[in-house]
Structure 1
Amino acid sequence: MPTLTTTGEAKRAVLYRMVMPEHICPYGLKSLDLLRRHGYDVEDRHLTTKEETDNFKKQQGVQTTPQTFIEGRRVGGHDDLRAFFGSPSTSKNAFAYWPVIAIFGMAAAMAVSLNIDSTGSMQVVKLAEQFVAIAVCLLALQKLRDVESFSTMFLNGGFKTEAQHVVIEREQGPAGPWPASARTPPAAC
């Protein structure tokens, strides 16, 4: 149910996003969810072909989709929408190596402790093996902890959601194995 403004009207947004038989933009899905969670009644406009998407981007003077409009003003893409709602930035320019540095430091400390405890002395080859094993396990745990990036990996990769399966089936008929086009999404939305 949409949230009402101070004048009693529902908060409205218009979202333009790519929804093609072979690709549904994950950032469009995230933007749609973000708008709904903030109480907006969303007019969800699908860009269903590459030509339609290219024309929209040219007309709006933007490089990517999705694009969100609130009260007739363009807010921008998914990162801009997050900023509009005061969410932390997911900018690619942000320094993101601290978790990896911390993981490697912890892996090194654990490997040294394990090496000395198990052998009674420092054995360099064994230490290196233990460090790699511990670091890989900790990195895997970190990857699983970041659910948003983990789920986006599936949307961007060869795994299809139920909604994508329905769209493909509606247009191409029931297909056993996925067509090659469904396994290779466009590089960007």
Structure 2
Amino acid sequence: MKPARKNAVLYRMVMKDHICPFGLKSLDLLKREGYEVEDHWLKTRRETDRFQSEHGVDKTPQTFIDGTRIGGNDDLRRFFGKPVKDPSATTYAPVIAVFLMTALMSVATSFAAGTLATPRTVEWFIAFSMCVLAILKLRDLESFSNMFLGYDVLARRWVRYAYLYPFGEALAGVLMIAGILVWISAPIALFIGGIGAWSVFRAVYVEGRQLKCACVGGDSNVPLGFVSLTENLMMSAMAIWMIVKAVLL
């Protein structure tokens, strides 16, 4: 005996200059859940406003199953028992993504250079991480500076430091990747890493403040704490190692 067909009705915005991404996600989710979808396109702003007024809703897409309105994409995900992202929830996902990719980049670079698992691989990992983190800060410098000023001890005394920090991080990272001008890159990394480590330690472990970290940009929900402290300590350790290596070698 064939299982009963599952039917759903979806209303979503498909306009010349805008295709609603949540409508596409709802359509995809319904199909993956085995539903035959009656897909209605709202092609103009007037059609969309009329639909919303008729059904007493203020957003689209809207899904109906067995004549019952389920709601928007988040409501549909809840209906199927899927997780719904909380935009205000803290997460380490951006930091994990950065460090995972830079680790793979450093291994790939070592492989291309004909070596693997050498001290240079670790150097590249830290230097690549510094560069990527600098990019994330520089994409919205104002947002970064606003969050950074909340805890950095030097930036709170000299605001311009909040704007200079990502450039210093980027410069030190690029020079460390190239392995040149150690007497420029290492002091910069040691300076910003040392101040950063003390700032995080003081804010989190001395003052007990619960803040978000600006390490991946000012719009992140990464909590300030162990990861932020480790990042700064790694930068400082890299600087010390580069100086020692330059002196001894």
> TM bucket by the smaller chain?
0.5 to 0.7
Change (3 A) 1:110 1:91: same
Change (3 A) 1:106 1:48: farther
Kindly indicate which of the two structures has a greater share of residues assigned to helix.
Answer: 2
From 6, 9, 13, the equivalent of 2:4 is 9
Residue type at the aligned position of 1:50: R
Which residue of structure 1 lines up, in the alignment, with residue 243 of structure 2? 119
**Is residue 95 from structure 1 mapped to residue 89 from structure 2 by the alignment?**
yes
**Is residue 54 from structure 1 mapped to residue 49 from structure 2 by the alignment?**
yes
TM-score normalised to the size of structure 1?
Answer: 0.55
Uncovered stretches (5+) of structure 2, i.e. residues with no partner = 94-221, 245-249
From 8, 15, 18, the equivalent of 1:23 is 18
1:97 CA displacement: 4.3
Distance (Å, rounded) in 2 between the aligned partners of 1:26 and 1:103 = 33
Which residue of structure 1 lines up, in the alignment, with residue 232 of structure 2? 108
Residue type at the aligned position of 1:45: H
| Divergent runs of 4+, >6 A | none
Distance (Å, rounded) in 2 between the aligned partners of 1:35 and 1:44 = 11
Uncovered stretches (5+) of structure 1, i.e. residues with no partner = 1-5, 121-189
Change (3 A) 1:60 1:91: farther
Distance (Å, rounded) in 1 between the aligned partners of 2:58 and 2:227 = 35
1:79–1:91 Cα contact (<8 Å) kept:
no
| Identical-pair percentage | 49
* Alignment size in residue pairs: 115
TM-score normalised to the size of structure 2?
Answer: 0.42
Q: Please give the per-residue CA displacement for 1:143-169, whole angstroms capped at 9, x wherever unaligned.
A: xxxxxxxxxxxxxxxxxxxxxxxxxxx
1:105 CA displacement: 4.1
Residue type at the aligned position of 2:9: V
Kindly indicate which of the two structures has a greater share of residues assigned to strand.
Answer: 1
Over aligned residue pairs, what C-alpha RMSD do you find?
Answer: 2.3
Rg larger in structure: 2
What secondary structure does 2:14 align onto? strand
Structure of greater relative contact order (alpha carbons < 8 Å, 6+ residues apart): 1
